[in-house]
Structures are given as C-alpha cells and as structure tokens.
Amino acid sequence: MAEFLELNGVEVVDTFAEAFPMKGTRAIITAVSPRWAGIAAAEMSGYATSVIACDAEVAVERQLSPDETPDGRPGVSVLAFGFDRDSLASAVQGRVGQCVLTAPTTACYNGIQDCPKEKQIQVGGAIRFFGDGFQFSKKLGSQRFWRIPTMDGEFLCEDRFGTVTGVGGGNLILCGDSQATTLHATEVAVEAISKCPDSILPFPGGIVRSGSKVGSKYKKLRASTNEVYCPTLRPLAESELPDGCNAVYEIVIDGLSPEAVQNAMRAGLHSASSCEGVLRITAGNYGGKLGKHHFYLRDLL
C-alpha cells in the first residue's frame, strides 16, 4: 500500500526515482547569430529522447551569451548522454558531423575541460576527414582544433571532448484532473527545471506522454506502455491513479552529476505542486533492482 506525503496540498507518493549511470558530454555550438546556433543545436538534438531506441539522449542545456563562448559569438550548450563512452562518441561524431558542420557559420567546442585523456572522446578528429585532405589542425596550448573547409568559409571543431559519468532517468510523474491542467503544471515544472545547470530534459518539450515500463508481451520490444498510469485503461488493467485523475505526464531528467538531477527534480516537484488540478506526484522505479541512483521524493520536500 502506497504511503503519501504532502506538498502544497498535493499528494506526494513516498517513493523514489530510479536512475542509471550514463556517460555524458557537453558541446558548445556557436554561430554568427543566436538563430543559427539554435538551429544547429535543435538539429543535433533530434531523435534523441531515450537510449531505448535512440543512439543517445541529447537536448539543449541553455543559451550562451557571447562572453560565455570560446570565440565570442552567440552559442548554445548541448548535453549528450550514452550508456558507454564508445557509443557516446559515435553518436556525438555523427550528430556534429551531420547537424552542426552542415549548418551555416557554426563552430563546435568541448564544454567539459580538465578531463583526463582516457576519458575524452574524439569529435573534430573523427569528422576532419570530410575535408578530403584540405583540413588543417591548429593547437592552442593543450587544445587541438580542426579547420574543415566549407562553402561559406570553414568549420572549426575541437579535436576531443571531455566526458563525465553522469545520471540518466531521473523522473517525476504528475497526475492531474484533466489534460489541460496536468499539461500546464508539467510545463511549469519544465520551465523551472530548465533553469537548473548541468541537466537536460531529452523528451519533446521536456514532457513524456508515453511513460513506459521494462519489457512487453511482445518479445521484440524492450519497453512498452506503462498501463498503470493510463487513465483510459482503468477498467482493463491494474491502476496506480488517484480518483478523478484523467491525465498523466512524466518528466525525465539526465544530468552530469547526481546532484544536478536531484536539484532539477526538486525544482520540478515544488513548481508542479503549486499548480491547480494536480492530484498526485510520484516517480518511476523498478524496485531498486536496475539503477544504482535512487532519488527519494521525501528528500526533495
């Protein structure tokens, strides 16, 4: 039987979000204008919601002013996560090569400095071959950059990017009395979380409508709909929903550290609980058997 806490009059289930270690990196994309930096960042973040089916989990961390970027131009910080360093390297190489190199006026830099070489991944050094022998390298101190000729000048990309062991899968599940009120509350939570550094929300607009569980009745599927949180299935399956609940949305958080995920969850929990129509807030876990990071909601109150 679930036990409940309370925050701003909203039921908070006394449970935890179960999250997993992931390798993470940060790419700093700059361009001649915020518009073009943003376009490149959005393209790089495409089809990157969950490693269940995508090669990485990727999203914009925040916008950067010219005084925050290596080349003094407008920029965007993008975080990317993968299960291991090799798969992360492959995903970032492909995304920078196909989505950032191709965008007008862009450059791409390593956003995690002071990282031991054995924990770095090659990015510019992997895509330099597009220059077909006309590429050039330049070293500034310990940093190597590749200059790849393009039709509007050249694409500058740092050779290697640092990585850290981060966390994927922090989450909150919001149960509300209607689709409109629950969506609004989740949007408010997303806005609060977006201000938390070192974290991203990889799903569309930061929100998941299709919460999943591990496995399926169909052997080919690694994950399937989490029927206990589907309001329309209450007559057909076991339900975890409170009376009067007609919509549920989930927020999934990846971070460069456990502290980043915990801070983001706290911001989302407090913001969502202040909204009308929210009946219950809980979190998804697998009984603590799959992920080493357990973020207890009671610790966030």
Rounded CA separation 63/42 (Å): 12
**pLDDT at position 142:** 86
CATH for the stretch 22-164: 3.30.70.520
Map out the domains of the chain as residue ranges. Answer: 4-19+166-300, 22-164
pLDDT tens, per residue, the chain with 301 residues: 789 999 999 999 999 999 999 999 999 999 999 999 999 999 999 999 999 999 999 999 999 999 999 999 999 999 999 999 999 999 999 999 999 999 999 999 999 999 999 999 999 999 999 999 999 999 998 899 999 999 999 999 999 999 999 999 999 999 999 999 999 999 999 999 999 999 999 999 999 999 999 899 999 999 999 999 999 999 999 999 999 999 999 999 999 999 999 999 999 999 999 999 999 999 999 888 889 999 999 999 9
- Rounded to 10°, the helix 258-273/179-193 angle is 140
Judge whether 4-19+166-300 and 22-164 match in fold: yes
Handedness of CA 272, 274, 275, 278 (dihedral sign): positive
- HSE-up of residue 177 (Cα within 13 Å, Cβ side): 7
Alpha carbon of 30 to those of 33, 61, 127: distances in Å?
A: 8, 14, 17
- Token duo for residue 275: 């909204």
Decide if 18 contacts 9 (C-beta within 8 A): no
CA angle 22/26/27 to nearest 5° reads 140
**pLDDT at position 21:** 97
- HSE-up of residue 188 (Cα within 13 Å, Cβ side): 17
pTM for the whole structure: 0.96
Rounded CA separation 50/213 (Å): 13
CATH architecture entry for 4-19+166-300: 2-Layer Sandwich (3.30)
Rounded CA separation 93/79 (Å): 13
